[in-house]
């Protein structure tokens, strides 16, 4: 690392350590309740100090002559662009990971990484302190990031990677945005009952992430919606078993969910572990199609929470709809609901008695951006 880079990282670290108090969300839990007047005033003062320091950092970054940064048009909320192209002459980098590695150790400014058309066979990881990164493809059918690890693939230490480590693309920092790109795990569809074949295409382990027009392709455990608040808009998600899973608080709007199960599969495995956890999955105006027989969800967590509203369901949906993960006790604590769904698989008549056909009042908290506090952070 050059002397300049070390000084830059030290400068950023000083700013962060001197920042005022901040509120954040972890594991999809939204902190609510009344706060006293003194707390509010203290926090406001801290935010003002933090804002001043942030703008000092923006001014400092703007003065740098980074070889791959373009000058921002908006000086108040600057953003920088980096291009990735398979052709070395067509962009700043030929690999997405190299573009990410070029950013400061602590990143506080929006960086748009434009990934030109092509198939990028690489494993990508965004570390926790590199926030405000946008990955923008040339189209979900044109820009593809792929790799083929499974949970049993040996890692650098010789031990299996596990489900967490199998992800083709992993994000660990907040305010991530992905647009018009495909994330794919190339591992084949495992036979029924296979062990260690979890193969994650994308893992999001951070708060406030948005996805527009993206594709997530895999088989078992395609999309690891680990924790945080997330918004998926007009995305395509494909898999066989538990292919949307985790303990995030996520809204899927206008998405196409497609099953490729050989026999029986499950769409979701939501892992809410406590009645106090403000987490869950909500699917609004989506479409569910595919092959095999499909459960809408399995109760991975004892308080698992999933809702489908205004969603088209093909005839692949098993009449029971939901599975208790082999634990009848979970039938008393999970929250599984449908609201005004349509299609041959949407009939509620055969559903398990511990699922719900929601009333207007019951459905209201799940069917808008307020479910994920979206007005607070989407478009940032």
Strand partners for 81: 112
Let me know if residue 211 belongs to a domain: yes
Let me know if residue 378 belongs to a domain: no
Distance between CA atoms of 174 and 137, rounded to whole angstroms?
20
pLDDT tens across 51-63, in order? 454 444 444 444 4
Determine the average pLDDT of the residues in 238-246.
97
- Within 10 Å of residue 217's Cβ, how many Cβ atoms? 24
Check whether residue 94 and residue 177 sit in a common domain: yes
Q: What string of H, E and C letters represents the secondary structure of the chain?
A: CCHHHHHHHHHHHHHHHCCCCCCCCECCECCCCCCCHHHHHHHHHHHHHHHHHHHHHHHHHHCCCCCCCCCCCCCCCCEEEEEECCCHHHCCECCHHHHHHCCCCCECCEEEEEECCEEEECCEEECCCECCEEEEECCCCCEEEEECCCCCCECCCCCECHHHHCCCEEECCCCCEEECCEEEECCCCCCCCCCCCCCCCEEEECCCEEEECCEEECCCCCEEEEECEEEEECCEEEECEEEEEECCEEEEECCEEEEEEEEEEEEEEECCCCCCCCCEEEEECCEEEEEEEEEEEECCCCCCEEEEECCEECCCECCCCEECCCCHHHHHCCEEEEECCECCCCCCCCCCCCCEECCHHHHHHHCCHHHHCHHHHCCC
Distance between CA atoms of 119 and 243, rounded to whole angstroms?
22
Check whether residue 206 and residue 230 sit in a common domain: yes
Determine the average pLDDT of the residues in 214-226.
98
Phi/psi of residue 257, nearest 5 degrees: -110, 120
Check whether residue 83 and residue 10 sit in a common domain: no
320: left (phi over 0), alpha (psi -120 to 50) or beta: alpha
Let me know if residue 64 belongs to a domain: no
Helices 3-17 and 37-62, packing angle to 10 deg: 160
Check whether residue 239 and residue 169 sit in a common domain: yes
Range of the domain at 8: 3-25+36-58
Check whether residue 150 and residue 87 sit in a common domain: yes
pLDDT at site 77: 55
Check whether residue 316 and residue 180 sit in a common domain: yes
pLDDT tens across 282-319, in order? 999 999 999 999 999 999 999 999 999 999 999 999 99
- Output 42 or 131, whichever has higher pLDDT: 131
Distance between CA atoms of 314 and 344, rounded to whole angstroms?
6
Question: Can you tell me which residue has the tokens 């748009």?
Answer: 112
Check whether residue 43 and residue 75 sit in a common domain: no
pLDDT tens across 131-161, in order? 999 999 999 999 999 999 999 999 999 999 9
Distance between CA atoms of 97 and 256, rounded to whole angstroms?
28
Residue 42 has pLDDT above 70, yes or no: no
Let me know if residue 221 belongs to a domain: yes
Residue 103 has pLDDT above 50, yes or no: yes
Let me know if residue 63 belongs to a domain: no
Catalytic residues: 242
- Output 241 or 4, whichever has higher pLDDT: 241
CB 173 within 8 A of CB 135: no
Check whether residue 227 and residue 355 sit in a common domain: yes
Determine the average pLDDT of the residues in 235-260.
98
Let me know if residue 112 belongs to a domain: yes
Let me know if residue 379 belongs to a domain: no
Q: Which residues contact 299 (CB under 8 A, 6 or more apart)?
A: 270, 322, 323, 324, 325, 327, 330, 334
Check whether residue 356 and residue 330 sit in a common domain: yes
Q: How many domains does the chain have?
A: 2
Distance between CA atoms of 48 and 100, rounded to whole angstroms?
30
Determine the average pLDDT of the residues in 246-260.
99
Check whether residue 148 and residue 21 sit in a common domain: no
Let me know if residue 30 belongs to a domain: no
Check whether residue 42 and residue 85 sit in a common domain: no
Residue 27 has pLDDT above 80, yes or no: no
What value does the mean pLDDT of the chain take?
Answer: 86
CATH code where residue 134 lies = 2.160.20.10
pLDDT at site 194: 82
Report field, pTM of the whole predicted structure over 0.75: yes
Check whether residue 192 and residue 257 sit in a common domain: yes
């Amino acid at each position: 690392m050059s002397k300049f880079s070390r000084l830059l990282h030290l400068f950023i670290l000083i700013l962060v350590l001197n920042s005022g108090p901040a509120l954040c969300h972890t594991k999809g839990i939204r902190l609510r309740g009344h706060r006293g007047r003194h707390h509010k005033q203290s926090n406001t003062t801290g935010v003002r100090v933090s804002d001043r320091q942030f703008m000092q950092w923006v001014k400092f970054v703007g003065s740098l002559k980074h070889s791959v940064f373009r000058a921002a048009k908006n000086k108040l909320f600057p953003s920088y662009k980096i291009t990735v192209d398979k052709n070395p002459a067509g962009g700043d980098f030929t690999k997405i990971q190299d573009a990410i590695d070029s950013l400061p150790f602590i990143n506080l400014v929006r960086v748009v990484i434009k990934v030109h058309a092509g198939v990028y066979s690489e494993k990508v990881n965004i570390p926790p302190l590199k926030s405000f990164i946008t990955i923008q493809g040339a189209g979900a059918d044109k820009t593809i990031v792929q790799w083929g690890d499974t949970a049993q693939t040996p890692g650098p230490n010789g031990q299996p990677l596990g489900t967490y480590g199998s992800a083709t693309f992993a994000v660990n920092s907040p305010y991530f945005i992905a647009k018009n790109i495909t994330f794919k795990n190339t591992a084949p569809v495992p036979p029924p009952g296979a062990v260690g074949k979890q193969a994650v295409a994308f893992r999001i382990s951070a708060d406030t992430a948005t996805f527009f027009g993206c594709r997530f392709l895999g088989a078992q455990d395609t999309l690891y919606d680990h924790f945080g608040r997330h918004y998926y808009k007009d995305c395509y998600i494909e898999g066989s078993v538990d292919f949307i899973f985790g303990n995030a608080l996520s809204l899927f709007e206008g998405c196409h969910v497609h099953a490729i199960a050989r026999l029986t599969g499950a769409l979701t495995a939501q892992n809410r572990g406590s009645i106090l956890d403000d987490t869950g999955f909500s699917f609004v105006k989506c479409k569910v199609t595919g092959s095999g027989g499909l459960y809408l969800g399995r109760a991975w967590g004892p308080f698992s929470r999933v809702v489908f509203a205004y969603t088209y369901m093909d005839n692949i949906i098993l009449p029971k709809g939901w599975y208790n993960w082999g634990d009848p006790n979970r039938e008393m604590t999970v929250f599984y609901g449908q609201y005004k769904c349509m299609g041959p698989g949407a009939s509620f008549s055969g559903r398990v008695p511990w699922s719900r056909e929601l009333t207007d009042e019951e459905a209201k908290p799940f069917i808008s951006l307020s479910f994920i506090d979206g007005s607070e952070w989407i478009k940032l």
